[in-house]
Amino acid sequence: MLKPLFEVQGLRIAVADDRTSLKGDDGPVTEDGEQLGSGWVEIVPGASYRVNAGEVLGLVGESASGKSLMLMGAFGLLPIGARVIGGTTRYKGHEYKPSQPWQGEDDVPSRRARKQRRIAGTSEVRCHSAAQLDLPGIRS
């Protein structure tokens, strides 16, 4: 069996949404037991995937279904208003938690950020709109 180049297990992502506060629930709970509150909604409830060297992973889903957030979240590179609340990522056998990226020997924030960008820079994310599906020679 091939050793995975990149592996994500149980990735959970929540986003801030003022409309959810009307529901009156307490919102999602992080893997550390933190209650996020009613202004948060969990949109990626435990994604897991694996990519071996030389393989390609394709994600298909409806618009705004969380595909891009799932990939960015695996690297801990989410936009403001979104956060990883659970899961682990392995890159070349090294494990880290995207919710608490690069702990340990690289526990200097600027060094962690550079390392994240370096790994994320080796991956390619390409999103196509429905109109581009009929134009295979055009890349976005």
pLDDT, one tens digit for every residue, the chain (140 residues)? 677 888 999 999 988 887 655 556 677 888 877 887 778 888 899 999 999 988 888 888 888 888 888 888 888 788 888 888 999 888 888 887 776 644 444 444 455 566 666 665 555 555 555 554 554 444 44
- What beta strand segments (E) does 53-136 contain? 82-91, 94-96
CA distance 78 to 74: 9
**Which residues 6+ apart lie within 8 Å of 82 measured at CB?**
13, 14, 15, 16, 69, 73
Q: Does residue 54 lie in a domain region?
A: yes
CA distance 37 to 12: 16
Q: Does residue 140 lie in a domain region?
A: no
Q: Give me the domain span that covers residue 38.
A: 4-134
How many independent structural domains does the chain possess? Answer: 1
Q: Does residue 91 lie in a domain region?
A: yes
| pTM recorded for the entire structure | 0.66
Q: Does residue 139 lie in a domain region?
A: no
Q: Does residue 121 lie in a domain region?
A: yes
